[in-house]
């Protein structure tokens, strides 16, 4: 049972015959073609959702540190709402329930919904990191900015955020790796990404082990890639004279 049959990736997805050079031609596709396109979907969902999560999460995180009680409440409510419901359930609600209440959303493609759903879910976690990052800075920094006559907005823009950003890179790295892994829920709404590929292809080929190995490998590679990029950014923005976070 442990003799692997890697030929499976060279098979055509319709005839089930092994194709030469493993990539399909003329409209027919092999499992390898499919795997690659699935990887592409995984990366697209993950990266776009990450973008949404970073933008929304940073905004919410910042709100939670403002002096205004109202804004803090808005940020808190957002965070609690999106982090206390399992992702799979949230995706389902976005796809099936929300459009039932707001008919205009019916025509929105599922790709967009899943990017938003995954993005909002992750934004709650990022908001938490950003808030913690900002609050970990000495209070004196905020005072120093204000004391120089900067407005609160300027103080955030020029003093607090550049520092907080550096503080939160390591936790954000883990969130970015998480989002790649979490993107697997997209299969629930008909996105042909890696998990969906794994489920469908192993059903069709009965070569579960090989399929799962390949898919796990690609997830691993993607997460590793994100990790390297984050490390690169972390080193690029390291401030001279500080030891940096990676001690």
Partner 1 sequence: DTLKKIKDSGSVTMGVRESSGALSYTLGDGKYTGYHVEICDKVLSDVRKQLGLSSLSVKYQPVTSQNRIPLVQNGTVDIECGSTTNNATRQKDVSFAVTTFVEEVRIAVKANSGITKIGDLNGRSVATTTGTTSVQTLRKNERATGVDFKEVFGKDHADSFLLLESGRADAFVMDGSLLAGLIAKSKNPADYKIVGEVLSVEPIAIMMRKDDPAFKTAVDNSIKAMIKSGEIAKLYDKWLMQPIPPANAKVGLPMSDNLKAALANPNDNPAEAYVKK
Partner 2 sequence: MIDIKNISKWYGSFQVLTDCTTNIQKGEVVVVCGPSGSGKSTLIKTVNALEPFQKGDIVVDGVSIADPKTDLPKLRSRVGMVFQHFELFPHLSVTENLTLAQIKVLGRSADDAKTRGLKMLERVGLMAHKDKFPGQLSGGQQQRVAIARALSMDPIVMLFDEPTSALDPEMVGEVLDVMVQLANEGMTMMCVTHEMGFAKKVSNRVIFMDAGKIIEDCKKDEFFGNPDARSPRAKEFLSKILQH
Partner 3 sequence: MSFDFAFLTWDVISSFVLKGLWFSIQLTIVATLGGIALGTVLALMRLSGKKWLEVPAAAYVNTLRSIPLVMVILWFFLLIPMLTGRPMGAELSAVITFTVFEAAYFSEIMRAGIQSVSRGQVNAGYAMGMTYGQTMKLVVLPQAFRNMLPVLMTQTIILFQDTSLVYAIGAYDLLKGFEVAGKNFNRPVETYVVAAVVYFVICFSLSMLVRRLQKKIQIIR
- Contacts with partner 2 by CB under 8 A lie at 138, 140-141, 143-151, 154, 158-159, 162-163, 166, 239-242
142 contacts 155 by C-beta, under 8 angstroms: yes
Task: Point out which residues bind partner 1 (CB under 8 A).
Answer: 1, 13-14, 16, 96, 99-100, 106, 110, 187-188, 190, 192, 196, 199-200, 202-206, 208
- Nearest approach, Cβ of residue 146 and partner 2 (Å): 6
- Please work out, in degrees rounded to the nearest 5, the angle formed at the alpha carbon of residue 87 by the alpha carbons of 82 and 91: 95
> Smaller CB distance to partner 2: residue 141 or 200?
141
57 contacts 125 by C-beta, under 8 angstroms: yes
- Nearest approach, Cβ of residue 217 and partner 3 (Å): 9
- Nearest approach, Cβ of residue 175 and partner 3 (Å): 12
62 contacts 135 by C-beta, under 8 angstroms: no
163 binds, among partner 1, partner 3, partner 2, none (CB under 5 to 8 A by kind): partner 2
- Nearest approach, Cβ of residue 66 and partner 3 (Å): 19
Residue 11, strand partner residues: 18
81 binds, among partner 1, partner 2, partner 3, none (CB under 5 to 8 A by kind): partner 3
> Smaller CB distance to partner 3: residue 132 or 146?
132
- Nearest approach, Cβ of residue 50 and partner 1 (Å): 23
> Smaller CB distance to partner 3: residue 34 or 212?
212
Q: What phi and psi values does residue 33 have, to the nearest 5 degrees?
A: -55, -45
- Nearest approach, Cβ of residue 46 and partner 1 (Å): 18
83 binds, among partner 2, partner 1, partner 3, none (CB under 5 to 8 A by kind): partner 3
The distance in angstroms from the start CA to the end CA of the chain is 45
Question: What span, in angstroms and rounded, lies between the C-alpha atoms of 120 and 126?
Answer: 10
> Smaller CB distance to partner 2: residue 103 or 149?
149
> Smaller CB distance to partner 3: residue 90 or 155?
90
> Smaller CB distance to partner 3: residue 58 or 195?
195
In sequence order, what are the residues at sequence separation of 6 or more whose Cβ sits closer than 8 angstroms to the Cβ of residue 91?
Answer: 113, 114, 117, 118, 185, 186, 188, 189
42 binds, among partner 3, partner 2, partner 1, none (CB under 5 to 8 A by kind): none
181 contacts 223 by C-beta, under 8 angstroms: yes
Q: Which long-range contacts (CB under 8 A, 24 or more apart) does 222-226 make?
A: 222/39, 222/42, 222/43, 222/46, 222/180, 223/177, 223/180, 223/181, 226/173, 226/176, 226/177, 226/180
Q: Give the H/E segment covering residue 59.
A: helix 31-63
């Amino acid at each position: 049972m442990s003799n692997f049959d890697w030929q499976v990736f060279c098979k055509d997805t319709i005839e089930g015959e092994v194709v030469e050079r493993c990539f399909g031609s003329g409209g027919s596709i092999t499992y390898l073609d499919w795997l690659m396109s699935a990887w592409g979907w995984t990366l697209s969902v993950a990266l776009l959702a990450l973008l949404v999560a970073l933008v929304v999460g940073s905004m919410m995180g910042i709100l939670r540190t403002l002096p205004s009680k109202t804004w803090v409440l808005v940020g808190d409510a957002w965070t609690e709402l999106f982090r206390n419901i399992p992702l799979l359930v949230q995706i389902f609600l976005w796809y099936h329930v929300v459009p039932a209440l707001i008919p205009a959303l019916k025509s929105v493609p599922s790709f967009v919904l899943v990017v938003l759903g995954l993005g909002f879910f992750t934004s709650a976690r990022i908001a938490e990191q950003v808030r913690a990052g900002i609050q970990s800075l000495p209070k004196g920094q905020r005072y120093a900015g204000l004391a120089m006559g900067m407005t609160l907005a300027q103080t955030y823009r020029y003093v607090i955020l550049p520092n907080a950003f550096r503080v939160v890179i390591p936790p954000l790295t883990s969130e970015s790796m998480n989002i790649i892994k979490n993107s697997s829920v997209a299969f629930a709404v008909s996105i042909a990404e890696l998990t969906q590929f794994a489920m469908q292809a192993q059903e069709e080929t009965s070569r579960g082990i090989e399929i799962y190995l390949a898919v796990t490998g690609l997830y691993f590679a993607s997460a590793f890639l994100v990790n390297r990029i984050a490390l690169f950014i972390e080193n690029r923005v390291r401030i001279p004279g500080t030891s940096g976070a990676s001690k």
